[in-house]
Amino acid sequence: MRWSGQEITSEQKDALPGLARLNNLVRSVRTPEFAGVTFHEVLAKSALNKVPGGGGALPFGWTINPYRGCSHACLYCFARPTHRYLDFNMGTDFDREIVVKVNVAEVLRKELAKPSWGRHPVALGTNTDPYQRAEGRYALMPGIIDALASSGTPFSILTKGSLLRRDLDRLEDAATHVPVDLALSIAVYDDELQKSVEPGTPSTKARLETVRAVRERGLDCAVFMMPILPYLTDTRAHLDAALAAAKNAGATSVLYTALHLRPGVKEWFMLWLEREHPELLPKYRAMYGSQSYAPVGYRKWLAARMKPLIAAHGLRRGEEDPITGGVRSAALNAMRDENGDRVRQRDGAERVRPAFVPAPVAPEERLTLF
Ligand code: SF4
């Protein structure tokens, strides 16, 4: 690929004040394969992002976001407001103006090599999707996976991207060194609705096939049914079909939660609802008019519907990381004994997961925004 002809300009400080504020924009690029999308390549100053927690046993978490913005373009995406920090809008700009940290793996390797790094679990996919379409072009994840595994750092990945399959060899190998927790986000099992509300994502079928491919490597794979959309995907028939499909693909656990609409995202989602399902507007306004979370009564009703269905399908309810919102790392659940634990793969072979012992937390660990 010839990059020079696609470059918009190497310095855009006047045109892109938000990016210029970061003072690390290399260039902005458009390509024919990604019509309507602009990639803003930046040199990240840091890769590991420290997420404040609620104190107690889990005072904070760590995440990596190789991209900002997400071409998966889910109407309900809670990360949309983060794009305003860069002076982009949280609507179409979030879907089409994608910031790419082209040096993220290199920076990450340096951060992980510091004696102060505590080898705490790192979550990917909790803000924007690391296997969105841009990853097919920039291939940042292989370097990130290698850096985490070789440094002894457990990690988790939550994605809607079937592109994860490209890295399965790597992930399988990484899981022999550190705990690796994988999850596919698959909430809509109605093709027409899925294309409408998550227009840039791989199909539900492709994502279920990804779950199956992960399981065939002997790795666990959770399915995040998030969000459940009131009056659209919460019928017993839809939930039953969804759980049957997840079970059939080999999902090891299922997590669910009702739609959450924070300010800004709410207005963007309601515009879509007015266009596609105007008959539901009064109901959604009653539910979300003055709050971001679905009403307690609805959440209780949903739990009463989901719990027996999950049990009926022989699925386990998974655990969310309370700080990052990603799949909870196995490394947090149990520090393994010295011999590790044995995992039987589909072909009958056994491999041993290594023991994981976290290093002490260093006082100088930094909070980073970008
Ligand atoms: S895939 Fe995730 S990060 Fe991307 S738009 Fe959808 S909800 Fe947002």
Which residues constitute the domain of residue 127?
A: 18-360
In a domain, 291, yes or no: yes
Structure tokens at 251: 């999902």
The rounded distance, in Å, linking the Cα atoms of 350 and 356 is 19
- The closest-lying atom of ligand 1 relative to the alpha carbon of residue 95 is 5
In a domain, 308, yes or no: yes
Structure tokens at 303: 């739990």
The rounded distance, in Å, linking the Cα atoms of 224 and 226 is 5
Ligand 1: distance of its center to the CA of 128 in Å? 6
pTM here is 0.87
Ligand 1: distance of its center to the CA of 133 in Å? 11
pLDDT at 358: 45
According to DSSP, residue 8 is labeled -
Residues of the chain under the 50 pLDDT cut: 1-15, 334-346, 354-370
Ligand 1 binding pocket, CB closer than 6 Å: 70, 72-74, 77, 79, 128-129, 132, 160
Structure tokens at 40: 């803003």
Structurally, the chain folds into a number of domains equal to: 1
Could you tell me the CATH number of the domain that includes residue 142? 3.20.20.70
| Secondary structure percentages of the chain, helix, strand, coil, to 5 | 40, 20, 45
pLDDT at 10: 35
Ligand 1, atom 7, residue with closest C-alpha: 77
The dihedrals phi and psi of 80, each to the nearest 5 degrees, come to -50, -45
- 370 close to 67: Cβ distance less than 8 angstroms: no
- DSSP letters spanning 292-319: SSPPHHHHHHHHHHHHHHHHHTTPPBP-
In a domain, 370, yes or no: no
pLDDT at 362: 39
Condensed to tens digits (0 to 9), the pLDDT of residues 163-209 reads 999 999 999 999 999 999 999 999 999 999 999 999 999 999 999 99
In a domain, 182, yes or no: yes
Burial 352-367 (b: 16+ CB within 10 A, else e): ebbebeeeeeeeebee
- Residue at token pair 């900002």: 68
In a domain, 143, yes or no: yes
In a domain, 3, yes or no: no
pLDDT at 344: 44
Ligand 1: distance of its center to the CA of 201 in Å? 8
In a domain, 147, yes or no: yes
Of 64, 65, 74, 229, the one to substitute when testing ligand 1's pocket (max ligand atoms within 8 A of C-beta) is 74
In a domain, 30, yes or no: yes
The dihedrals phi and psi of 358, each to the nearest 5 degrees, come to -70, 145
In one letter, which amino acid is 35? Answer: A
- The closest-lying atom of ligand 1 relative to the alpha carbon of residue 79 is 8
